[in-house]
């Protein structure tokens, strides 16, 4: 990608311009429901002005506008892979928020980034305080119209495979969402530096 030569009023490149000067990066924010993924991903998207794809919203739109119903299986993820790939190929970063529960979904995000010639930052959001996690599950509301949120039993009973490779782990019981977003931004910068 050609580096932009934009400067601020004082003649210095701004942090946003530095951030945008290298190849595109796919940021996948995953983890169990109610760990804080959407909050962190939303802050990150606003701060970086980055396209943001949310599997819950994609899946709910598919259910609302088709004859399909929950659970959709791989359909929502398949749509998101294609949307992300297209944005990455336009040299835009993409933030995706999803549970990302199994090796198959995680490897598919890697493949999406690779096919687009993009870097990737894989993030797993956890909540190490079980009582806090349960409280979040039982008291939260959804901003996705029509989406039925899982119960605590459904969250703890969900298939969620352990990770088999290095990735960034963010503990929302020990870190604010804003600090988590800053940590992820640092990782994005690191991926850009490695690739340039």
Domain for residue 3, yes or no? no
Cis previous bond, 71, omega within 30: yes
Domain for residue 182, yes or no? yes
Of 150 and 111, the one with more pLDDT: 111
pLDDT band at 195 (very low <50, low <70, confident <90, very high): low
Q: What is the per-residue pLDDT across 1-36, written as a single tens digit (0 to 9) for each?
A: 333 333 444 443 343 443 444 489 999 999 999 999
The Cα 32–Cα 91 span in angstroms is: 29
**Model pLDDT, residue 196:** 60
| Domain containing residue 28: CATH number | 3.40.50.300
Domain for residue 33, yes or no? yes
Domain for residue 137, yes or no? yes
**Residues 6 or more apart in contact with residue 68 via CB below 8 angstroms:** 62, 75
Domain containing 91: what range? Answer: 24-195
Q: What is the per-residue pLDDT across 41-83, written as a single tens digit (0 to 9) for each?
A: 999 999 999 999 999 999 888 888 887 776 767 889 999 999 9
Cα dihedral 33, 79, 94, 166 sign: positive
Domain for residue 15, yes or no? no
Answer yes or no: is pLDDT of 165 > 70.
yes
Q: Indicate the length of the chain as a whole number.
A: 196
Question: Strand pairing partners for 119?
Answer: 25
Domain for residue 1, yes or no? no
Count of domains for the chain: 1
Domain for residue 118, yes or no? yes
**Model pLDDT, residue 98:** 95
DSSP one-letter string for 102-149: SHHHHHHHHHHHHHTT-EEEEEEEE---HHHHHHHHHH---SSTTPPP
Q: Which two tokens stand for residue 24?
A: 């595109």
**Model pLDDT, residue 71:** 72
State what percent of residues in the chain have pLDDT above 90: 70
Domain for residue 30, yes or no? yes
């Amino acid at each position: 990608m050609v580096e932009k030569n934009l400067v601020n009023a004082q003649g210095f490149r701004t942090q946003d311009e530095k951030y945008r000067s290298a190849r595109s990066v796919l940021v996948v924010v995953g983890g169990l429901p109610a760990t804080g993924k959407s909050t962190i991903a939303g802050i990150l998207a606003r701060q970086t002005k980055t396209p943001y794809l949310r599997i819950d919203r994609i899946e709910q739109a598919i259910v609302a506008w088709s004859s399909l119903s929950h659970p959709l299986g791989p359909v929502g993820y398949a749509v998101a892979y294609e949307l992300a790939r297209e944005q990455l190929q336009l040299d835009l970063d993409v933030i995706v928020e999803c549970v990302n529960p199994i090796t198959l979904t995680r490897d598919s995000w890697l493949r999406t980034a690779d096919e687009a010639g993009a870097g990737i930052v894989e993030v797993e959001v956890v909540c190490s305080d079980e009582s806090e996690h349960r409280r979040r599950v039982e008291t939260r509301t959804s901003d996705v119209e029509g989406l039925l949120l899982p119960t605590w039993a459904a969250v703890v009973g969900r298939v969620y495979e352990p990770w088999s490779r290095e990735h960034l782990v963010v503990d929302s019981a020990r870190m604010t969402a804003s600090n988590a977003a800053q940590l992820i931004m640092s990782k994005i910068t690191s991926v850009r530096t490695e690739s340039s």
